[in-house]
């Protein structure tokens, strides 16, 4: 395997190597094969070797660099293992078989289809990569400081205005006579802003060199939400590119509310458009806040994970806390000792914060619902109804969690 055929190995041009990210106690790099659509994860040492496979380095050159960096020599067994992995995924230029690549692509598509279930499903509405590429070229000015700084000031000022005029906006949005007109129109305009939100993710991803494969609707129990698939975010070496791609949707959504605020300020009291603008300002700002909450798997969660250079933050946080709760077990203590202090703090804080926020939100919801129910049924029956609802909700969430765990195991198999 280390003969002259592999003397100056080169990865195929479609293969892209990503930066170092943390996942649990490990460092991982993502590798994308654009030909098959597959993403792989490799460790830092495999990534180091692959990074030198550019056709200009011999195996001896790579071996010397590896020894200088890791103080270990690459023996025949290591090379055999490396080339076996490269051959399995058909990553080497000049040694890839078209039929094998097609099989890998088909297997990837089959795995994607297997993830579709009653609890998790996606409906593709658009393949927007070319459109996003064209928009990224035409909107290049929007990524410069001369545009971004004034835009941030406008968005910040808008949010200060909305939350300091909350009672006025709420009154105008809820006290109106033309519900038949304003409600459908509000929904139409809100979905228009949502489309801008998703395209903002795609255009920003394309600006930083990624591809945008899908825009559509995602069902992840119990929520139906639009999505823009920007998987290449894990390949961006600059942290600000990853965080910026995740933040772009919320930023554009809030920027789209600036003309809405202008209309609200210019419209006179009693004009139907004023109440419509008030509703859009409230719901648009509220949706932005919800998107930025890192306890939900939304934009804020992605921003947080990449600002920390971590992937799988939620799943790894749960795994970390399961180990913490079993720390009397020597095996659990040994696994916990492998976590660097910085990562351990991140997983611990995220787990505690998520739990506190979810409990607080649940208690607030129960309090509001109890206040409504007791007027209809009395306090005793209200408590019974809420208790039954809580048990049912826990059961459904438990089934959903087991279903998602099964899907992950099937996908990883």
The better pLDDT of the pair 330, 297 is held by: 330
- Number of helices followed by number of strands (H, E) in the chain: 16, 6
Would you call 149 helix, strand, or coil by DSSP? helix
Q: Whole-model pTM?
A: 0.86
pLDDT of amino acid 410: 46
For residue range 12-25, what is the model confidence (pLDDT) as tens digits?
999 999 999 999 99
CB 246 within 8 A of CB 215: no
- Ranges 32-41, 158-167, 237-246, 389-398: which has the least confidence: 389-398
Question: Among 108, 109, 89, which Cα is nearest to 97's?
Answer: 89
From CA 95, how far away is CA 3, in angstroms rounded? 13
What percentage of the chain carries pLDDT values higher than 70? 92
For residue range 148-195, what is the model confidence (pLDDT) as tens digits?
999 999 999 999 999 999 999 988 888 777 767 777 888 888 889 999
Cα 122 from chain centroid (whole Å): 15
Most confident option among 235-244, 291-300, 382-391: 235-244
Residue 4 has pLDDT above 70, yes or no: no
What are the residues whose beta carbons fall under 8 Å from the beta carbon of 65, sequence distance 6 or more? Answer: 48, 52, 57
pLDDT of amino acid 292: 92
Would you call 214 helix, strand, or coil by DSSP? strand
Confidence of residue 310 (pLDDT cuts 50, 70, 90): very high
For residue range 53-100, what is the model confidence (pLDDT) as tens digits?
999 999 999 999 999 999 999 999 999 999 999 999 999 998 999 999
pLDDT of amino acid 411: 43
For residue range 357-368, what is the model confidence (pLDDT) as tens digits?
888 888 888 887
pLDDT of amino acid 351: 93
Beta-bridge partners for 228: 215
From CA 213, how far away is CA 124, in angstroms rounded? 9
**What average pLDDT does the chain have?**
88
Beta-bridge partners for 29: 20, 42
pLDDT of amino acid 113: 83
């Amino acid at each position: 395997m280390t003969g002259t055929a592999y003397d100056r190995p080169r990865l195929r041009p479609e293969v892209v190597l990503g930066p170092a990210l943390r996942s649990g106690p490990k460092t991982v790099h993502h590798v994308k094969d654009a030909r098959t659509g597959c993403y792989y994860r490799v460790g830092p040492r495999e990534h180091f070797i692959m990074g030198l496979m550019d056709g200009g380095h011999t195996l001896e050159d790579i071996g010397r660099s590896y020894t200088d960096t890791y103080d270990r020599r690459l023996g025949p067994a290591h090379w055999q293992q490396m080339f076996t992995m490269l051959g399995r995924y058909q990553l080497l230029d000049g040694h890839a078989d078209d039929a094998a690549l097609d099989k890998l692509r088909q297997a990837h598509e089959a795995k994607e289809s297997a993830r579709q279930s009653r609890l998790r499903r996606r409906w593709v509405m658009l393949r927007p990569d070319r459109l996003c590429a064209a928009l990224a070229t035409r909107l290049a000015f929007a990524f410069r400081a001369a545009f971004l700084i004034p835009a941030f000031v406008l968005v910040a000022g808008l949010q200060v205005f909305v939350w300091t005029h909350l009672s006025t906006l709420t009154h105008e949005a809820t006290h109106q006579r033309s519900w038949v007109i304003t409600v459908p129109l509000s929904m139409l305009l809100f979905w228009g802003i949502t489309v801008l939100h998703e395209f903002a993710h795609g255009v920003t991803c394309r600006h930083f060199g990624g591809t945008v494969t899908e825009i559509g609707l995602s069902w992840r129990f119990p929520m139906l939400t639009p999505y823009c698939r920007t998987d290449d975010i894990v390949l961006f070496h600059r942290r600000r590119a990853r965080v910026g791609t995740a933040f772009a949707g919320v930023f554009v959504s809030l920027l789209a509310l600036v003309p809405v605020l202008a209309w609200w300020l210019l419209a006179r009291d009693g004009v139907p458009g004023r109440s419509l603008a008030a509703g859009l300002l409230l719901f648009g700002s509220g949706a932005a806040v919800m998107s930025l909450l890192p306890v939900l798997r939304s934009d804020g969660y992605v921003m947080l994970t990449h600002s920390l250079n971590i992937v799988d933050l939620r799943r790894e946080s749960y795994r970390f806390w399961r180990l913490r709760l079993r720390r009397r077990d020597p095996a659990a203590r040994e696994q916990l000792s492998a976590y660097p202090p910085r990562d351990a703090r991140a997983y611990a804080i995220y787990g505690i914060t998520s739990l506190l926020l979810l409990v607080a939100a649940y208690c607030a919801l129960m309090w509001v619902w109890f206040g409504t129910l007791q007027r209809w049924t009395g306090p005793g029956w209200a408590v019974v109804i809420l208790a039954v609802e809580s048990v049912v909700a826990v059961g459904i969430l438990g089934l959903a969690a087991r279903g998602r765990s099964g899907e992950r195991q099937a996908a990883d198999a």
